[in-house]
Amino acid sequence: MASSSHLLCVGLLFLHMNVQAVECASTLGNATDRMALLSIKEITSDPHGALSSWNDSLHFCMGPGVVCRSGDQSVMILDLSSLDLEGSISPYIGNLSFLRRIEFQENSFHGEIPRGIGSLFYLQYLNLGFNSFQGNDFKALVFEYMPNGNLNKWLHLEEDGQNHLQNLSFTQRLNIAIEVASAVEYLHHHCQMPIVYCDLKPSNILLDNGMIAHVGVYWICSPEYGLGGQISTRGDVYSYGILLLEKFTGRRPTDDLFKDGLNLHEFAKMALSTQLGEIVHDPRLLLVEVSTDLINTNGN
């Protein structure tokens, strides 16, 4: 039994089996997702013909209840709510690797809830209410839904550019920094045993409806810990510092700019006190604050 002085690194490693994407020679797009949807369509009863258009003659992203992301055309949302559908849910739903939202409520689905749903790494919302599921209990960790997602999508554009209109003011970034610091300080000094977070980064900082930051309660430990790196609260402190630099410069630690010995830490250090304005890579930070100042000035 480890003594109370030992530091505890908490981490839940998610083993997510990704199905290799198969490129379709026709215009049907992501063949893996298309086949999964066709499998889900094979239910006992579809009295209103809601899924009749899920076939080879129509691109699956154009089917009712289906929302895909641009680019690779992976299914992100599957909404089959209130369609009087009857039958069991195909286990192949677990092949929709990028699924973020499932709404199957108010139907007559029965049988067991497919275990594959539990392996959907990006799933954020699940509603299976008002159905007739039975069999083995479906086990899952359920957390409060964070409607504003994670900090990473507010700091950086996603590959599909869907969050290009989101802005964080200087004040919001400062408040988030304070809230994250408070959470880390609690883990280090106010638990029965000190807890080392091990993987503090923007994608693990969740934002609720009021833009209040929450440190995710499950994560993957950084690889260096598994390779013999010493577990220490100092690692979290260093990660927090890098998080601050990333938040206020708008640059990722993995930015193409950082090579030949240059990193985000050294980049900010070189500009300290004389060139701070030049290292701010995110123009939204400056524009929002200037706009706020102008509004206040005009109001006075």
Report the pLDDT averaged over residues 212-238. 74
Lowest-confidence pick of 130-134, 170-174, 197-201, 269-273: 269-273
CATH 3.80.10.10 positions along the chain are 31-133
Tokens of 141: 């960790």
CATH homologous superfamily for 151-299?
A: Transferase(Phosphotransferase) domain 1 (1.10.510.10)
Q: Is 228 helix (H, G, I), strand (E, B) or coil?
A: coil
Res 266: pLDDT: 86
Q: Which of 199, 255, 256, 260 is catalytic?
A: 199
| Residue 10 pLDDT exceeds 90 | no
Render the burial of 238-262: b for 16+ CB within 10 Å, e for the rest.
ebbebbbbbbbbbbbeebeebeeee
Q: 31-133: which CATH topology?
A: 3.80.10
Residue 199 annotated among the catalytic residues of the structure: yes
CATH 1.10.510.10 placement within the chain = 151-299
pLDDT, tens digit (0-9, with 9 covering 90-100), for 38-76:
999 998 899 999 998 888 788 889 989 999 988 888 999
Q: What is the pTM of this model?
A: 0.57
Give CA separation, 2 vs 192, 203, 227, 228, in Å: 13, 31, 21, 18
- Residue 257 pLDDT grade (very low, low, confident, very high; cuts 50, 70, 90): confident
The residues pairing with 68 across neighbouring beta strands, listed in sequence order, are 75
